[in-house]
Amino acid sequence: MSKKIGWGILGCGKIAKKMATDLRLVADADLRFVAARQPQHAVAFAREFNVPNAGDYFDLVRRPDVDVIYVATPHGLHDEHVRLCLENGKAVLCEKAFTINARQAQELIALAKTRGLFLMEAFWTRFLPHYEKAREVITTLGNIRYVQAEFGFKPTPPVADRIYNPALGGGSLLDIGVYPVFLALDVLGKPDEIAAVMSPATTGVDEQCAIRFQYANGALAQLFSSFSVNLATGADIAGTRGRLRLTHRFHGPTAQLEYYPGPVDTRQLIETERAKGNGYEYEARHVTKCLQQGLTESPVRPLRDTLLLMETLDAIRKQMGLVYPADCI
């Protein structure tokens, strides 16, 4: 009989609620504690999702019955919160963006390895059925020549502080631009050249940014993120033997796959498994199995991929001239 894995959630926002819901769909995952900076918020969260225990962050990391903690706070706080968990002997699944910069990511990875603890970036897209299928289809497209992806929406009032606050790593790139960048890296690998420009918000962070990756073999990626406009938030991967389109919200479980062996009128819809929950159950199931097997790193989303993403985001920000206070520490 498989060992039950005790889960805790640090942070009680919208994404934490989705994970709490989806953990119910994961065999051998048992949500035992939720924590918020203000304990009364955790108590309300626990009541809503029938979690037996609630408290503050320090209460959570000291729980002997919690094996892994899902860090669901804004990315500007990830360095502090992941470090707290690791220093108290807890495995961690941390939301994206993993940290504000690559330096923070390197330090957390080194700490996890020193402590012999599991650490993974919660890049849910990588575990979704439609994306797993997309990766299969991409291998049939021949020589990949072009990747295009965009993610854009207009934040509705009241706008969360993290959106435009430099101290919290605000701006479209780290909040939503991580998805197009992730896709290009996953399909084409590390670019040989990066060019990027931004439209700054009044706070100095990027309200929108346009990115171009160039590769020595001639492949190109065009990536875009925006808080100025609502976009289709789709993606295209084109090769010498066909094109694959990931439709609206390409990064999430509702996206569809459209295969084009030729021109636009050759469209073929590819059926994939649909998520029973919000889509977070797949990464949670993977982490649960990793812990049951005694792994300290995911074979699907290894830490080298997380570090490459953070290094690439740093390089993009350098091109745009975007510096956060955390970069100067």
pLDDT tens profile 213-227: 999 999 999 999 999
Report residue 275 CA to chain centroid gap: 17
Contact of 326 with 104, CB cutoff 8 Å: yes
| Global pTM exceeds 0.75 | yes
Average pLDDT taken over every residue of the chain: 97
Q: C-alpha angle 210/234/215, rounded to 5°?
A: 50
The Cα-based distances of 205 to 36, 186, 197 in angstroms read 27, 26, 12
169 closest CA partner among 72, 84, 74, 105: 74
Q: C-alpha angle 157/124/78, rounded to 5°?
A: 65
Residue 268: burial class (beta carbons within 10 Å; 0-12, 13-18, 19+): exposed
What does the pLDDT profile of the chain (329 residues) look like in tens digits? 679 999 999 999 999 999 999 999 999 999 999 999 999 999 999 999 999 999 999 999 999 999 999 999 999 999 999 999 999 999 999 999 999 999 999 999 999 999 999 999 999 999 999 999 999 999 999 999 999 999 999 999 999 889 999 999 999 999 999 999 999 999 999 999 999 999 999 999 999 999 999 999 999 999 999 999 999 999 999 999 999 999 999 999 999 999 999 999 999 999 999 999 999 999 999 999 999 999 999 999 999 999 999 999 999 999 999 999 999 97
pLDDT tens profile 151-200: 999 999 999 889 999 999 999 999 999 999 999 999 999 999 999 999 99
pLDDT tens profile 262-284: 999 999 999 999 999 999 999 99
Residue 299: burial class (beta carbons within 10 Å; 0-12, 13-18, 19+): exposed
